A = this chain, B = another copy of it.
Amino acid sequence: MKLIIVGGVAGGASAAARARRLSEDAHIVLFERGPDVSFANCGLPYYIGGEIVERKKLLVTTPEMLRSRFRLDVRTRSSVEAIDRTAKMVRVRDLASGREYEESYDKLILAPGAAPLRPPIAAIDLPGVFTLRNLQDVDRIKEHVDSGVKQVVVVGAGFIGLELVENFVKRGIATTVVELQDQVLPPFDKEMTTPIVETLLDKNVTVLLGQSAEGFEEGADGLVVRLKSGQRLPAQLVILGVGVRPENKLAVDAGLQVGPRGGIRVNERLQTSDPDIYAVGDAIEVKDVVSGDPTQVPLAGPANRQGRIAADNVFGRPANYRGTQGTAIVGVFDRTAAMTGSSEKTLRRANRPFRKIYVHPAHHAGYYPGADSMTLKLLFDPTTGRVLGAQAVGGAGVDKRIDVLAVAIQAGMTVFDLEEMELAYAPQFGSAKDPVNMAGFVAAGLLRGEHPQLDVDTCLAAPVADQPFLLDVRTPQEFASGHIPGALNIPVDDLRSRLGKLPRNRKIAAYCQVGQRGYLATRILLQSGFSAANLGGGYKTYKLFQPSAQSRSL
């Protein structure tokens, strides 16, 4: 067996190591265009910021190690230029010498990754304008930063964009982030990103949403970024982080099928349309676990697992890739945002019925010092209760709850299962009723009909005539420090004695700070013959939809 693997980072390196474990005899050739194999992509922003001090830490392994330990025929700075599927040969160019040669294969695994998008912006090739993909990029950026940068513009407020923003701020650089969409972290639902924007603003980051870079110019002090709005941003460094596209040229040229967004099409065994050619990682189209639809999700975890699975299949051990659910996480200063499964907007786009709830629990018992509040949004099927997606934003403990919910989605669990989850509790780690239990209680109560809820966004977007009577059941102090316009304040503890103040001919939407007192108020009202519902997630959720200053002008 002669196996050729194209691409030596996450998926390719995993496939190669697995292949050797499965076969001592196989000839395994690993071609990598760059000088490094298996480097830590996800660490690059933190090396720029200085959190990761030693460059060599970013090298997860080296070509030498792969040769000595796995007897891999590793060829770096080698670009595979073409595949001759009939002859089962690849044409390779040695980038050092320029020499081209051919290499035969029995099986081929493509792991070429995805390249940063370079949109057609005027003067995008000016010095000082960078994209970030590999160690060579990071070396160039770091050298540029170390030479003295006062202002940076990051174009694109996705995961890597915001990680870069944090690291530039930590280096004392005045930082602006420009995002075409009207929110940061586009995979998330917009309201869940409000706390992240607030954190960025707190750190004096200039956040420009719904804006795009139209061109770059040389300026008096480095560069000028011209925005579509006409604004001109001076900067000595610009990073483009506006997304990636699958490196599919090799596959397309070879006549392999690709999807509409360019991802190489594979079956469950990760076989392309040519059964002797497999493909893995950021370059492929995968199945969305929740919707079953094809999608493209460039993530390191799936790439690593796909590498294993492709190698298994190459060596005759049938293994299926189950699909990707898009579990992702990002740290932005002391805040964390994480998600898994479908977002509300993807469900809406797919016209898939869903319900949603929000809870705002502390990450561990409130009586133990250091409890940090989080917002957890849960999306679920309105009939079966199956969990479709989850998003959380907060500090410590966000990663844990999203991982727990990722497993729930993988297992096809319902909100009724979340109620029963038995998670580890001691006061420094969680609560007797964990945030995930709380989300389950609220969602299950909604589906059982015992806890009717209105979504704050749809409720307040309705024409005034259709809007419910708003009842704020918090204390007068809470009410005075901010409430939804038009609401009447009756604290929940007084509600039973003041029911006469409430309309009998109109739906009442009760709300409190996070939803708990609003739930009790709703139960009291329902049992007293009112038409009532809880405004889900309370005033805190309302505030997520009312960001005070989503973007700041210059």
Contacts and interface: CB of A to CB of B under 8 A. Distances in A.
A424 B402 contact: yes
A304 B432 contact: yes
A94 interface: no
A483 B403 CA distance: 37
Contacts of A70: 520
A252 interface: no
Interface string A417-441: 1011111111111101110010001
A410 B420 CA distance: 9
Contacts of A496: 24, 71
Contacts of A338: 424
Contacts of A528: 24
B427 A403 contact: no
Stoichiometry, copies per complex: 2
A411 interface: yes
Contacts of A301: 422-423, 425, 432-434, 437
Given A305-B437, A410-B417, A492-B69, A368 B422 contact: no
Interface stretch (A38-46, A127-135, A144-152, A233-241): A38-46
A58 interface: yes
Contacts of A450: 21-22, 317
Interface in A88-112: none
A304 B433 contact: yes
A254 interface: no
Contacts of A520: 20-21, 69-70
A57 interface: yes
A407 interface: yes
Contacts of A426: 42, 159, 163, 329-331
Interface stretch (A224-232, A255-263, A319-327): A319-327
Nearest to A322: B420
A70 B400 CA distance: 33
Contacts of A421: 406-407, 410
A21 B524 CA distance: 7
A302 interface: yes
Contacts of A25: 527
B367 A60 contact: yes
Contact of A400 (B57, B302, B403, B425): B403
Interface of A: 10, 20-25, 40, 42-43, 46, 51-53, 57-58, 60, 68-71, 159, 163, 289, 299-305, 308, 317, 322, 324-325, 327-331, 336, 338, 340, 365, 367-369, 399-400, 402-404, 406-408, 410-411, 413, 417, 419-430, 432-434, 437, 441, 448, 450, 492-493, 496, 517, 519-520, 523-524, 527-528
Closest 10 CB pairs of A and B: A411-B411, A329-B424, A24-B527, A300-B432, A400-B400, A57-B367, A68-B493, A399-B429, A407-B407, A21-B523
